[in-house]
Amino acid sequence: MSFKHPISIAPMMKRTDRHFRFFMRLISRRTLLYTEMVTTGAILHGDRDQHLRFDDSEHPISLQLGGDDPNELAQCARIARDWGYDEVNLNVGCPSDRVQNGNFGACLMKTPETVARAVEAMREAVDIEVTVKHRIGVDELDDYAHMQRFVDTVAAAGCTRFSVHARKAWLQGLSPKENRNVPPLRYPEVWRLKEERPELTIEINGGILTMDQAAEHLEHVDAVMIGRAAYDNPYQFSDVDRRFYGEQSAPRTRHEVARAMYPYIERHLSQGGKLSHISGHLLQLFAGQPGARRYRRHLSENAWREGAGVHTLEQALNLMQEDAPATKKAATL
């Protein structure tokens, strides 16, 4: 692979928090991780520790920002750099009411010059990479020529990497969930963008469920971003380091991943946290495996209880058959 981050996990609200990212880093050491979208206002005026804290093991990690003011975005980019993030990403794809009211997210596809000014301000402020995640279109502005103009305008401001959700966004009439499923996927337009702008790094996102599908897309683009499928079946990323990064070390088994969470859970509990803050991210670790329903049920029913801790997760694991050794599993993948 020529690009250093061929596989990433998409920023997802209420999904890609620091607990989930730490968990995923136990499964794949190389996959690029993103935060949830954090607005400039939350960073400049809110609890920065809550919004920005991450574990050193989470590198490489990108902070996704939501906003439209170049000066505020530049300030937040500097803060991200100072906190140790590897890069910052501007959200130009979210269609929720919240971002529409703030005139950012997918709304910004209508004003590429605004995005260009924001990118230019952030690039002048920091030396870490500044990237953009966007849709192929928004509302009636959804033909290929519009997307190409958007990319060209933002690229002229110095952005060289674009993560493209291969669906348009409807700002009125569809919920955020429907915007992830109802507009049809138009992968060939993203492939065409890479073909016609080979100097840019183009990442594709939207509806990609498996590593085999990711490999097919990598025949056309530089990188693949996987969203909900990473949350619904996280252990499929155990093959990423070997398959896409050429690493030879065997991945952890599912049980090894879960038990590697124990010190992290204990630390979180000692700081006043609850097991339920973390356990929801672990529910799909055994997706597709015999006994997975019993495992999920035990965690779901008990993680919120007073005194729940590592022993609660261990009880859930005991409902599952122990995995084969990682070395043996790796040989059969």
For residue 313, give the nearest of 272, 270, 271, 254 by alpha carbon.
254
Residue 12 counted as an annotated binding residue = yes
Residue 325 counted as an annotated binding residue = no
Q: Look at the chain and count its residues.
A: 333
Of 76, 94, 107, 159, which is the active-site residue? 94
Catalytic status, residue 94: yes
Name the DSSP letter for residue 300. Answer: H
Cα separation, 204 vs 293, in Å, equals 32
Cα separation, 106 vs 96, in Å, equals 9
Residue 246 counted as an annotated binding residue = no
Residue 198 counted as an annotated binding residue = no
Cα separation, 243 vs 323, in Å, equals 21
Residue 11 counted as an annotated binding residue = yes
For residue 133, give the nearest of 78, 69, 64, 188 by alpha carbon.
64
Number of CB atoms found within 10 A of residue 69's CB: 19
Residue 206 counted as an annotated binding residue = yes
Cα separation, 325 vs 34, in Å, equals 30
Residue 133 counted as an annotated binding residue = yes
Residue 228 counted as an annotated binding residue = yes
Name the DSSP letter for residue 7. Answer: E
In which element (H, E) is residue 87 found?
strand 87-92
The first and second tokens of residue 130, run together, are 């500044």
For residue 131, give the nearest of 211, 36, 45, 201 by alpha carbon.
201
- In order, the DSSP letters of 114-155 are HHHHHHHHHHHH-SSEEEEEEEEEETTB-SHHHHHHHHHHHH
Residue 315 counted as an annotated binding residue = no
Residue 251 counted as an annotated binding residue = no
**207 phi and psi, to 5 degrees?**
70, 15
Residue type, 17: D
Name the binding residues for FMN: 11-13, 64, 133, 165, 205-207, 227-228
- Binding residue ranges: 11-13, 64, 133, 165, 205-207, 227-228
- Residues labelled as active-site residues: 94
